[in-house]
Amino acid sequence: MKKQIIGDVRLLKAKSMRALDDRAINEIGIPGAVLMEEAGRGAVRLIGESGWLKTFDDAILLFAGKGNNGGDAFVVARVLLLAGYSRVKVALLASGVGLSGDAKINHDAFINLGGEVVELLDDECWLQLRPELPSQKIIVDGLLGTGLKSAVRGLYAEIITAINEFSGPVLALDIPSGLDADTGLPLGDAVRADATATFGFGKPGLFVTPGCEYSGRVEIVDIGIPQKWAAVEKDAIQLLTADFCRELLPETVLSASIHKGSRGHLLTFAGSPGKSGAGLLTAGSALHCGCGLSTLALPQSLAESLEGRNPALMLEALPEVETGQIKVPEPDEIEKICAGKSALAIGPGLGLHDAACHLIENLLKNSDLPAVLDADALTLLALNPEILPPKRSLTILTPHPGEMARLLQCDTKAVQNRRLDAARELALNLGVYVVLKGAGTVIAAPDGALTINSSGNALLATAGSGDLLTGMIGSFLAQGLEPLAAAQAGVFLHGLLADRLLASGLSRGVTVLELEQELPKTLSFLAESG
């Protein structure tokens, strides 16, 4: 399994991170050079753990810019040199005499130890160094830091291209050069690292699409800034980790007095002709995720055909006006159907007909149960915004980028280019919780608070995966979790399913059925691994 980030982790935007650096220097009295030293030594530990270097004669090339990111690179170079690695070279995109502050201190210390520095002051210098890259055992990227806001150009862009052509491992310091630390967008181009040692606190751009494709494995290096400071930063973003999500899980003490009715009852409205499997997945995964009872409501003809397909499910046959076409329940019928239920899951495979639209509207307006909406329910909401009562704060929407684009009336690229802002915008506008699915799933709360998920991989890109997630979140709602906690626990657990399957050696041919089968074991693993 990929290495899990541990603890209660907050991510900070670049501006907040710089402010905490300054605060540590001015309030605590930790010199900037000490913070830089801790950063560099943490990066060297990551190199050691990776096993990339086999002998002390391995060639190591570090690229350094003129700022603090370059200073970090010089610390790494010095520590490696002192550890006995004899072929450590730093390529500096500046003149050494022009450096200042902590970067200058660490440049000079490396030189004084006999370290080799090549100054890349023009294209000719770069052309002389370029042929050496294939012979390196590892490249360390310390070119550009978190302050970058404009597109990478000139020699920096050429070097980034060359680094990305390198066949060996690449370690980025703090942030892959060229990547926006706040959004995860490459500014022109960015280094594609195998691993990133990020300093102090994680940066959102490392964990959200597309930045997570550039950062590789992320190690958050403690450099001595109090962790509690991040919790009060107004733009701090929660990162979902196993340690954080374990504390969210419902109590599951298997006492003699516990019974199925005390563990919650999810009512799922899903499935239509040709898409009945979506309902089975959603309602079935809810049971695997721990709720005591699960009822699937769908057209009477489908209910009859699905009888016994999952013996643990109860079926609610909805009256039809014709085969497969439901008759919209009246408010009193809605009240009767919802009686004794704990939460609602609405949308997977429901269909886009008018009756489905009216059903959703009646459910949301005539029931105060917490609800998770997905798939067809989101498409209908985009076409008919009035079906969602204003500020129905017990509602969770789970769009993929295409559905999100329809809800925000923009294109998918615009959503992917601003995933954090897009999720927050919709949550604030509608007064609901939003789960924007994808690599680095983003969760936004009605108050604008953001969460990014750290689990999951491409095995989740399979038919029915979203239906599974809907049932998992719905199950946690039914078990009594607040909407934000239900979304966070469901999203992380969903990703962990795929991580565990990948770690077991399954990298191809995995369907939602394997994901669902893994759910009880993964839930137990998460609950008991602390």
Residue limits of CATH 3.40.50.10260 in the chain: 13-232
pLDDT of res. 181? 97
128: confidence class by pLDDT, cuts 50, 70, 90: very high
**Where do we find the tokens 């609950």?**
527
Q: Of 332, 324, 328, whose CA–CA distance to 303 is shortest?
A: 324
Average pLDDT, the chain: 95
The pLDDT, as a whole number, for residue 90 is 98
At 44-71, the pLDDT tens digits run 999 999 999 999 999 999 999 999 999 9
Non-local (6+) Cβ contacts of 27 within 8 A are: none
Per-residue pLDDT tens over the stretch 207-246: 999 999 999 999 999 999 999 999 888 889 999 999 999 9
Interior CA angle at 299 toward 351 and 381, to 5°?
A: 30
Per-position DSSP letters for 66-109, written without gaps between them:
SSHHHHHHHHHHHHHHHTT-SEEEEEESS-GGG--HHHHHHHHH
Q: Per the confidence metrics, is the pTM higher than 0.85?
A: yes
**Residue intervals in the chain for CATH 3.40.1190.20:** 273-528
- Weakest mean pLDDT among 179-188, 313-322, 513-522: 313-322
Looking at the predicted structure, is the pLDDT value of residue 401 above 80? yes
pLDDT tens digits along 59-104: 999 999 999 999 999 999 999 999 999 999 999 999 999 999 999 9
Domain 13-232 has CATH 1.10.3720.10: no
pLDDT band of 1, cuts 50, 70, 90: very low
273-528 has CATH 3.40.1190.20 classification:
yes
Phi, psi at 22, each rounded to 5°: -65, -40
* Whether the predicted pLDDT of 314 surpasses 50: yes
Paired sense of beta strands 217-221 and 87-92, if any: unpaired
CA–CA gap between residue 399 and residue 404 (Å, rounded): 5
Percentage of the chain modeled with pLDDT above 90: 91
